[in-house]
Amino acid sequence: MLTSMSDIIRFSWAALLGYPTRTILMLTAMAIGVAAVIMLTALGEGARRYVTNEFTSLGTNLVIVFPGYSETSGLNPIAMVGTTPRDLTLEDAQVLSRNTNIRRIAPINIGSVNASFQGRSREVPVIGSNSELLNIRQWELSQGSFLPVTDLDRATPVCVIGSNIRDQLFDTQTAVGQWMRLGDRRFRVIGIMASEGRSIGVDVQDTIIIPVASAQQLFNTPSLFRILVEAKTRSAIEPVKQSTIEIIKERHLGKRDVTVITQDAVLATFDRILAALTYAIGGIAAISLAVAGILIMNVMLVAVSQRTAEIGLLKALGAPQGLIIRLILSEAIMLSAFGAIIGLLLGELGCLAIRQAFPDLPAYAPSWAVLAAITVSLLTGFVFSLLPAQQAARLDPVLALTGK
């Protein structure tokens, strides 16, 4: 007849309650380990999702063209002097737009000017673009209309302003329809951007958008900062990228002097980096679980030596070695299990707190991390108490009874 599992659990439970300090110490160690794994992986995963979301909000099927192309070349006096790339121009954008694989194209010009209205003024970043920008970047208007559909080279004196600019310059007055001053020119406000429109690098609330030709005049430069190209389909991204490089090369006297990146490639890179980061910090957190395991081993060894007389008694009363081992193991595993549960709750609470504090960061622990944390904590509890359990089972009952 074997001692039943429920008896073993009841006995171990009494032992855990009988030594509260030791129990609380070990529960804390285990709980911290598990909570650390859960919270750190949640942070990593949250960062990954945040970046992914931000990139998706840039627009879909996006190909970005910007001037300049760096090549690695050997030690060569000409390369050391360096060459200034040829500018990207509005004509380049117009030629590109003939490609049938392209749905939309938006040239971008940026600069910073002093914006003023009735004596209030502030320095504002200005984007010069066309009517397509709104759809490519998937922004929304809260009032009025976006830039009108016109030829790219037509400099219409209209502007669309961010909600913060509206608040700061117009206060409570109606902004749409008013004339405001950007640098030394006058523009009519035709629309207000919705405040949610936010993506990497640009805070739409604090930006003014004007037609690209107007921006060229305002900043007195014919060159473009970027050309945003939206391919018709996902599979068209690569052909669009290749043909863009070819067309620009042809137009720039056979010299490849633009860089073309696809959003997918950037996104995939970030995704890989951040996933690797999540695994790495998960691994670091797992070390704390191993530390907790070693603590369990130490404390169980101390427990065995503290309870030598008790183990001697159990042996005298006829407990076989296997039973002693099972009693010690069940104690350690119960500790690990309770520790893991407490850690799980703490970790989830921590994640909740992070999400409350940083609403932009979707800090949810990935389920693989939760499973791994619990499995590792149970395993360490088991593995690290094998040694103390065997030591207890091998005690000489006569010596043990005298507490030696």
- Please provide residue 172's backbone torsions phi and psi, each rounded to the nearest 5 degrees: -100, -5
- Residue from 5, 7, 246, 280 that binds another protein (CB under 8 A)? 7
Using CB under 8 A as the binding rule, whether residue 148 contacts another protein is answered as no
Closest Cα partner for 379 from 300, 321, 292, 299? 292
Do the beta carbons of residue 366 and residue 45 sit within 8 Å?
A: yes
Residue 332: CB minimum distance to another protein, A: 17
Residue 6: CB minimum distance to another protein, A: 8
Residues near another protein (CB under 8 A), total: 27
Closest Cα partner for 128 from 21, 4, 214? 214
Residue 301: CB minimum distance to another protein, A: 20
Residues in Cβ contact with 242 at an 8 Å cutoff, skipping those fewer than 6 apart: none
Using CB under 8 A as the binding rule, whether residue 390 contacts another protein is answered as no
Binding mask 318-357 for another protein (x = CB under 8 A): xxxxxx----------------------------------
Residue 340: CB minimum distance to another protein, A: 24
- Residue from 110, 309, 341, 383 that binds another protein (CB under 8 A)? 309
For residue 237, give both structure tokens.
Answer: 């991204």
- Counting Cα atoms < 13 Å in the Cβ hemisphere of 312 gives 14
Stretch that binds another protein, among 89-97, 104-112, 215-223, 308-316 (CB under 8 A): 308-316
Do the beta carbons of residue 309 and residue 402 sit within 8 Å?
A: yes
Q: Nearer Cβ to another protein, position 102 or 400?
A: 400
Residue 388: CB minimum distance to another protein, A: 18
- Residue from 78, 317, 357, 367 that binds another protein (CB under 8 A)? 317
- Residue from 4, 70, 100, 367 that binds another protein (CB under 8 A)? 4
Using CB under 8 A as the binding rule, whether residue 315 contacts another protein is answered as yes
Binding mask 14-43 for another protein (x = CB under 8 A): xx-xx-------------------------
Residue 342: CB minimum distance to another protein, A: 22
Residue 394: CB minimum distance to another protein, A: 9
- Please provide residue 148's backbone torsions phi and psi, each rounded to the nearest 5 degrees: -70, 155
Using CB under 8 A as the binding rule, whether residue 313 contacts another protein is answered as yes
Q: Pick out residues in 42-101 that bind another protein (CB under 8 A).
A: none
Residue 307: CB minimum distance to another protein, A: 9
Q: What is the contact surface with another protein in residues (CB under 8 A)?
A: 1-4, 7, 11, 14-15, 17-18, 309-310, 312-323, 397-398, 401
